[in-house]
Amino acid sequence: MKLRTATALLALMLASSAPLAQQGAGDEAARIEALKTSVTNGVEARRKLAQVMNDTVFSFGELAYQEFETSKYLTDMLEKNGFAVERDIAGMPTAWVARWGSGHPIIALGSDIDCLPKANQKPGVAYRDEIVPGAPGHGEGHNSGQAVNIVAALAVKELMEREKLSGTLVIWPGVAEELLGGKAHMVRAGIFKDADVVLFTHVSDNFSTAWGKANGTGMVSVEYTFEGESAHAAGRPWRGRNALRAVELMNIGWDFNREQLRPEQRSHYVITNGGDQPNVIPSLASVWYFFREIDFENIKKNYETGNRIAQAAAMMTNTTVTRKLVGTAAPRHFNRTIAEVLQSNIERVGLPTWTDEEQIFAKAVQKVSDGNQDGLATKMRGLRAPLENPESGGSDDIGNVSWVAPTAPLFYPANIPNLPGHNWANAIAMATPIAHKGVVAGSKVMALSMVDFLTRPELVQAAKTYFTDVQLKSDKPLEFLAESDMPQIQINRDTMARFRPEMRKFYYDASKYETYLDQLGVKFPTLAKGQ
C-alpha cells in the first residue's frame, strides 16, 4: 500500500514536470522544423541554378589539375554571393577555398570537379556519341557535386543571415581526384585544421552515406623512371643500356609477385614513356603504378615491394631508377554522428520521383553498356553498420581529409545504376533531368544537415567525440607524402590544351539555352540513333 502511494506520487511528480520539459524541447524542435522547411524551400527556389551549374561544369569537361574554367566559374559565382575566395592554394592553381560567415561551427563542404580521359559523350542519348572525338568527359559525374554543395550553401546562408545564426561555411573542390592527387596537399596546407564538420558529396545512383571503415582501398600512386643510355639499335646495340627493358622487367616482377599478395590488393600500371622510335635504344622509360590496399600497413608494404622490384629491374639492366609520388589516398574512416545526421535527412527527402521516360532511358543505357536493366533506383538501402572486414575496390582521397577532421560522405542519386564506372556511359545521364533531380535532392539533404549542425551544438560535439575517442584510437594513419612531394600539376596539361579549343565551342551558354540538352539539340530521351 505504502509502495503504491510512493509510486503514485512519483508518477504525479513526473507528470507535472514532464509537460514543462517537453514544452521547451517541443519549442526548440518546432523552431528547427520551421528552419528546415525554410531551407528546403530555399533549395527548391534554386532548382534552375542547380541545373545551370551542373550543365555548365559538364560542358567544361576538364581533366585532373586542368580544372581552370570550372574553378573560375565556381569561384566567381561564390564571390558574387558574398563568399571570400582564396585561389591558387596548396600548390595547385585550380584549387581554392571559399568562406562565408563567422565563428563555429565551421562546416566544410567538398566535392570533386575533374573528369576522365576519352569519356567525352553527348548527354541524353542512349548510345556512344562523342561531342568532341577523343576528348575528356564527365564519365564519373563529378560535374554535379559542386552544384549540390553551392545550392545548399546559398540556401543555408540566406537562412543564417535572416536568423542570425553563428557559423562558417567553407566550400572547397576535390582537385585531380581521378588521380588521387589533390586532397593530401589540401590537408597539408591546413584547409581542414579548424573544420568541425566536413560534408563530402559524391555522385551515385542512390541515396546513402556511411560511417566507420569504408569499403574500398587507400593507395599510393607512383611513377618510376629508368635511365640508361641510347645507341643505334642495329649498328651498336652493345653500347646501349635499355630503360624500356627495365620497365618490362619491373612489370614482370610485379605481376609474378601478385600471386603472393592478399586478395584485397588492387594494383595497375601504364607505361607513360616507352621510348621514342625502335632504332634508338630507349635511354629513358617510365611506368606509372597504383598500389592499393585496405589498410595503411599493407599499402606501405606493397609500395616498398614495388620500390624493391624497381631497384632489381634497374640492376638487371644496368640502368638507374628514380621515383615520383603522383598521388596518395588514405583508407577512409567516416564519422558516425555525421552519417546519422545525413541519413535522417536522406530519409526525410527521399529518392526523386522518376518519370516513365527517365526509367525507359535508364534501361536503354544499361542495355548498351551490358548492365542489369533494372532502371533507376526506387528503393534506398538505409544506413548500415560498417563491415568487420571492409571490401576492396577503388580509392578516394577524401580518406586523407577523414583523418584530420570529422568527415562523412553524402552519395546522391544523380546517375544510372549498373554502369561500368570511369566510362562514357557514366556521362550520359549527367546533364539530363536525372542528374538535375538528383542534384536538388542531394542539395536538400546537405542544407537540412547543415541546419542540424548549426542549431544543435551537441551533434557537433558528438562528431568530435567519435573522431577523437573512436576513430583516432582505431588506427594509426601513415603519411606517404614526403615534404618534397609536390602536386603534379603538369599532368594532362598537353592533352587539355589539345582538346580545349574544340571543346570550347560546346561550352554551355545558359543565357541562350534553357538546358545543355537544348543547346546540343538533343530530344530527351533519345533511345536510338536517328530516332
User: Cell numbers 624493391 label which residue?
Assistant: 308
Nearest to Zn ion of 70, 317 (CB atom): 70
Burial class (CB within 10 angstroms; exposed 0-12, middle 13-18, buried 19+) of 364 = buried
CB 83 to Zn ion: min, Å: 24
CB 342 to Zn ion: min, Å: 18
CB 454 to Zn ion: min, Å: 28
CB 495 to Zn ion: min, Å: 19
Binding to Zn ion (CB under 5 A) within 443-482 occurs at none
CA distance 163 to 222: 49
Binding to Zn ion (CB under 5 A) within 55-74 occurs at none
CB 158 to Zn ion: min, Å: 29
Nearest to Zn ion of 177, 452 (CB atom): 177
Give 340's contacts (C-beta < 8 A, 6+ positions apart). Answer: 211, 383
Binding to Zn ion (CB under 5 A) within 139-168 occurs at 140
CA distance 303 to 37: 50
The one-letter amino acid code at 237 reads P
336 near 96, Cβ under 8 Å? no
240 near 256, Cβ under 8 Å? no
Nearest to Zn ion of 57, 156 (CB atom): 57
Size of the site for Zn ion (CB under 5 A): 1
Binding to Zn ion (CB under 5 A) within 321-340 occurs at none
Nearest to Zn ion of 446, 454 (CB atom): 446
Q: How far is CA 205 from CA 378, 384, 429, 458, in A?
A: 10, 17, 10, 32
**What letter would DSSP give residue 97?**
E
CA distance 124 to 111: 24
243 near 317, Cβ under 8 Å? yes
CB 148 to Zn ion: min, Å: 13
The three cell numbers of residue 519 are 543547346
Number of residues assigned to the chain: 531
Binding to Zn ion (CB under 5 A) within 115-144 occurs at 140
CB 268 to Zn ion: min, Å: 17
Q: How far apart are the first and last CA of the chain?
A: 86
Nearest to Zn ion of 320, 418 (CB atom): 418
Nearest to Zn ion of 140, 205 (CB atom): 140
CB 412 to Zn ion: min, Å: 12
Nearest to Zn ion of 69, 140 (CB atom): 140
Nearest to Zn ion of 222, 329 (CB atom): 329
174 near 202, Cβ under 8 Å? no
Taking every pair of Cα atoms in the chain, the longest distance, rounded to a whole number of angstroms, is: 113
Q: Give the interface with Zn ion as residue ranges (CB under 5 A).
A: 140
